[in-house]
Amino acid sequence: MKVLVLGAGGIGGYFGGRLAESGVDVTFLVRERRYKQLQERGLRVLSIHGDLHLERPQMIQAGEAAGSFDVVLLSNKAYTLAESMDAIAPYVGDDTIVIPLLNGMAHMEPLRDRFGRERVLGGLCFIETTLNAEGDVVQTSPIHDAVFGEWEGGKSERVERLEQAFSKINGTMRASNNIQREAWHKYLFIATFSGITTLMNSAVGPIRESAYGVELTRQLAEEIVSVMQALEAPIKPDIVEKQMETFQNQRPQAKSSMLRDMEKGLPVEADHLQGYLLKHAEQKGLSTPLLKVVYNNLKVYEQKRAAGK
């Protein structure tokens, strides 16, 4: 099975590296700067689950001839979606399966419109990872799982083949019978987690220990759930309680990837995550005051970043 991984950053570098380590034929589609960096240094993963060093990872840059792949794993940020779809298009054949590991929902329709609904699975991942100054992948969370499945549910023969091919990695890449529900649940968690940590500019620990940190986190989650319910998302009735338990069990030093990106002065996925929800809240006439504050905070950050401040 030939797998193309778009990007070799925190997500793509980690799961692509683990797949290659397990013997899967993996090629990374990367930009010129990352290509040169990996040529010189190799792909290094520094993980609490064991380090990894691929001295000569297989790589291509956009436009290079490589034929089609069996699987294309998308690990890009949402704000590069259009560019990413153009980059992978030459490598998507009639039988190629596209698995996006992006957060949120806004990317699904564009991907299915571009490549066909039958080629695009649902996907998500649970992991805390980033790149250090040397370009190494640093992975720090106890959980390092990726999930995929048929968007309409059930477990098809092709999904079972994928699960079998990915079964030997150091980590988990599992198939889901209900990927839509899992994707909406993940969306709720990441929109809440990224929202509250960026608003407070803090890791989880100080937020939980502050006077209203847990209360505000719950309020944000409840506002987001109200939007999801209005959209008839297949979420569980007790999902807020379950996710607040997860929030309480996070390591005190845990940060959202969005906060880490802000600390590095990088772009953020404000429109793809919180903005998408806010747009639908306004269309449905829902009151989401805290979600508005979270989104506005992110948009102010974007303005400052654009101005170089």
Can you state the angle between helices 289-306 and 179-200, rounded to 10 degrees? 70
Tell me the domain boundaries of the chain: 1-175, 180-305
What residues contact residue 76 under an 8 Å CB cut-off, 6+ apart?
A: 6, 7, 12, 84, 102
Which residues are marked as active site?
186
CATH of 180-305, one of 1.25.40.10, 3.30.1220.10, 1.10.1040.10, 1.20.1290.10: 1.10.1040.10
Could you give the 3-state DSSP secondary structure of residue 29? strand
Residues 242-259 pLDDT 10s: 999 999 999 999 999 899
Q: How far apart are the first and last CA of the chain?
A: 47
pLDDT for the residue 161: 96
Count of alpha carbons within 13 angstroms of residue 80, beta-carbon side: 16
Q: For the chain, which ranges sit under pLDDT 50?
A: none
* Alpha carbons 266 and 262: distance in angstroms, whole number: 6
| Helices and strands (H, E) in the chain, number of each type | 12, 12
DSSP letter string, 210-241 = SSSHHHHHHHHHHHHHHHHHHTT----TTHHH
Alpha helix locations (H) across the chain? Answer: 10-21, 32-41, 81-88, 108-115, 157-165, 179-200, 204-209, 213-230, 239-249, 257-263, 276-284, 289-306
pLDDT for the residue 308: 86
pLDDT for the residue 141: 87
Check whether domain 1-175 has CATH 1.20.120.160, yes or no:
no
Q: Residue 290 in contact with residue 220, Cβ under 8 Å?
A: yes
* Alpha carbons 245 and 242: distance in angstroms, whole number: 5
Number of Cβ atoms within 10 Å of the Cβ of 81:
19
Residues 279-301 pLDDT 10s: 999 999 999 999 999 999 999 99
